[in-house]
Structure 1
Amino acid sequence: MSQKSIDECVRLSLASYFKDLDGIEPAGMYEMMVRVVEKPLLEVVMAQADQNQSRAAAWLGLNRNTLRKKLLDHRLME
């Protein structure tokens, strides 16, 4: 079974996104992409780190306070 890299998946998804726009010009793509990639990244890393924020922050290369803010922003913690 062939496995696609993350960047290949992103390229294919973006190509499909532009096709679906059918000539309409997009707006705010950078923020949209950051949000749609960041949330699942945080979910998976937190699960793999057994919800340990210090460990997850280290894996992500983030300050723990930055991770907490992102988790709150994505409503992944209260």
Structure 2
Amino acid sequence: CCNFTPVTRIAYRIGVPEAGVFREIFNTDSELFGGSNLGNAGAAVAQNVPQHGRPLSLRVTLPPLAVVVFKIDRR
């Protein structure tokens, strides 16, 4: 998910196709890249709230001027 604005988006919803835990696998705002380390504590859980044409959604924090990538945990 991309946030190309200088504003942090808290509780932003991203539609997802299935239930589960989605791991935050990449965050350009990580302190490893000189960022402020805003993120989602490593994961977000799909909730029964439709969004973006998908049956479920994640509620996430999107840091300003950043890209955050999630991947479903199939373990």
Q: Do the structures match in fold with TM over 0.5?
A: no
Larger-gyration structure (1/2): 1
> Which TM-score band applies after superposition, normalised by the shorter structure?
under 0.3
| TM-score (norm: length of structure 1) | 0.20
Structure ranking higher in strand proportion: 2
Task: Give the TM-score normalised by the residue count of structure 2.
Answer: 0.20
